[in-house]
Amino acid sequence: MAHTYILFDFGRDEAKAQLARHKLEGWKQAFRLDKKLQYKLERESDAKNENAADDGDSAETSNAEKPKQKAKAKAKHTAKKAEASGDLSPANGKVNLLVRLYFSGHEKLTEQRWLDRIPSEEPFKEASPRVVRQGEEQFDEVVKQFDSLG
């Protein structure tokens, strides 16, 4: 089975990225593409904010600061719940969408149809789609990036 990745750069337009995510989710359910079509959103501002928060938390803490940390942990937990439900506030950083198509060898026609369809649809058109197939130079980098988004 060969992987093919489609990379989309939405810039700072969180609304279009969420519209694209919603459209992909609809296709996954409608066409039963659970394992064959997977996607992950990458937000550059989130990574920077997490690094800044980690630096502040690594300092020594006294007993007076422990309730503050619990409040921070609770706030992060509720933020993760909001992210899982799709209720996100607009981010200030760039938003990238990585889509992985994972079709077996006998499904080449189906894979090609999805490769043609996804970039031609409305929210994806303006996001400068880039297709990376297995065996190309950037393929290993894209796989690492996709896996690191967890």
How confident is the model at residue 44, as a pLDDT? 84
Listed in sequence order, the DSSP H helices in 31-148 are 44-57, 66-85, 108-120, 122-125, 139-148
pTM beyond 0.85, yes or no: no
Question: Which residues of the chain fall short of a pLDDT of 70?
Answer: 1, 45-92
Strands 95-103 and 130-133 turn out to be unpaired
Task: In whole angstroms, give the CA distance from residue 145 to residue 57.
Answer: 26
141 touches 111 (CB < 8 A): no
Ordered domains of the chain (ranges, CATH): 2-48+88-148 (3.30.70.100)
How confident is the model at residue 49, as a pLDDT? 52
How big is the chain, counted in residues?
A: 150
Tell me the per-residue pLDDT of 116-137, one tens digit each, with 9 for 90 and over.
999 999 999 999 999 999 999 9
For the stretch 49-56, contacts whose Cβ atoms lie closer than 8 Å and that sit 24 or more positions apart, written own/partner, are: none
